[in-house]
A and B are shown apart, each in its own frame.
Chain A
């Protein structure tokens, strides 16, 4: 009944790509220009929040192992909290800049969830490689967004955050349920 896992990953890849492009546009033209239309300030946090809501069906319908279920639950909550806190800051409902730290925290939790739930080594299979790559991408993203929280107007940190999202999207688009990597598929994963 459910779509193949790879299709679900591609759908989330679309979300991350759009999110990354919005952030990149804001980094290139500057926050003042980007926010001349008020709705643009809400754009990427809303997408992140929505993706968090949409992650819950993935959590409850893909239950082949408990650890997968818990990892998807962690990503759903991380996306909702990060997006929600940014929306609160933009709207003025949250005033303390400490809420900016929800973004690096969400990326840290998400990255760790990727690395912990992947039991295979980097080159075991394509999905294993992607999980490792995604995990480390998000951990680097956590550091970049930590810098962004300290220097919100830094073009380096803003562009870096955008590139992290685009890299995440690219890695999600690379996902296949069964496929070789670097011309090799581990015999343990079904390679002959």
Chain B
């Protein structure tokens, strides 16, 4: 009897709905995001899949200078499923639309997008009122770079430095843990970075952002395109890594490695080197070389310090020697590409200490000099000593490798700040600025 009553209670609990919880989905916007219109629109309208509650200020439309261009309060039509606001006569320029409506359950559904009248609008991340980046974003991006370095650098080390060498199961296991952590970190922190970037554009706390429409950000920006391509690509890399581990076929690491190399370009094609004024294919290529060389170097160091040294004493000397040779080339490529980028991005030498971008670059360069000096010590002192058969069992070398790895990973933190800093503006000969102004 008691069991039947319990079963009945469970069935009732499962079948009965809780209080009405309706979450509206935006179906259409007019004008749509990223639109470049030949004539000024008279209204902005949003079509939802269900009735919503709108307020007088539910749709806010601002010019690039922050001027309110709405001509009246927001109203609803179509039984509450369409929300419309009239506009003043809009002159040529970029406009930001921020909207928020309340679903029947009380959740605030929101969005932000841009359109232009006879000009190309800026991406939503540069909409009027967009903020960021925050300190949390820097940390997330740092983790992302570390993940990328562990993945790409770890694979490069396994395939190039340990090429043709028999490795122990213990080394192989730790290698897969490290590159596995790298690919998972790249996916998770990439997603987190995307959400945080959206939070900057929306200017909403995360608990309200979960009902935010991210389509304009995902589809209307280079950053969004890179996010889509890189998430899909890293999922494929994870699959290849898993299959390589499962079948013990090292050859499957090659497609994972090449895919990882291609995916690194996503950052170069969506960052400063691609979107800033004056950027070109040369700046994109330099950025890519700089990034890939840094990933090889940092990831390789971690592999040498935390995989080969503790797990395979027999491979220490040879792995150290091979990585030392590779690192010399990597450092050369990294420094050349970095110098070119600094030359391109800093119009004057004084920008190094006067502009924030230059100041961060100076901190990064100081850490790089420290790391390179440390690397030079390894290259010119430790490597020859190991060749002579001395120091293979030295704990000091192990500590020294871990120290250089720590400095390299610290550099990535500064890089995370640097990539979100705006380089000083260059004098441009464009008469009419087309992008919205950040507040």
Contacts and interface: CB of A to CB of B under 8 A. Distances in A.
B228 A65 contact: no
B26 A123 contact: no
The majority secondary structure among interface residues of chain A is helix
A80 B211 CA distance: 26
Interface in B73-108: 81, 103-105, 107
Contacts of A109: none
A99 interface: no
Contacts of A84: 242, 246
Interface residues of A, number: 34
A59 interface: yes
Interface stretch (A29-37, A86-94, A156-164): A86-94
Interface in B2-55: 14-23, 25-26, 49-51
Interface stretch (A15-23, A114-122, A141-149, A167-175): A114-122
A123 B213 CA distance: 25
Nearest to B238: A80
A64 B213 contact: yes
A102 to B, nearest CB: 13
Contacts of A124: 17, 20-22
B382 interface: no
Contact of A121 (B20, B198, B231, B232): B20
B207 to A, nearest CB: 11
Nearest to A189: B50
A190 B385 CA distance: 78
A189 B107 CA distance: 16
A63 interface: yes
A66 B210 contact: yes
A88 B214 CA distance: 37
B17 A123 contact: yes
Interface in A32-64: 49, 53, 56-57, 59-61, 63-64
Nearest to B232: A56
Interface string B203-246: 00000011111110111000000011001100110110010011
Given A60-B228, A80-B238, A188-B20, A66 B198 contact: yes
Contacts of B107: 119
B81 to A, nearest CB: 7
24 contacts: A49-B239, A53-B235, A53-B239, A57-B232, A63-B213, A63-B217, A64-B213, A66-B209, A66-B211, A67-B211, A73-B191, A80-B238, A84-B242, A84-B246, A91-B246, A119-B23, A119-B103, A120-B20, A120-B21, A121-B18, A121-B21, A188-B50, A189-B49, A189-B50
Interface of A: 49, 53, 56-57, 59-61, 63-67, 69-70, 73, 76, 80, 84, 87-88, 91, 93, 119-124, 136, 186-190
Given A84-B242, A188-B22, 13 more contacts: A63-B217, A66-B198, A69-B214, A80-B239, A119-B21, A119-B107, A120-B22, A121-B18, A122-B15, A122-B16, A124-B17, A124-B21, A190-B81
Per CB-CB distance, the 8 closest pairs between chain A and chain B, nearest first, are: A121-B17, A119-B23, A56-B235, A63-B214, A67-B210, A63-B218, A60-B228, A122-B17
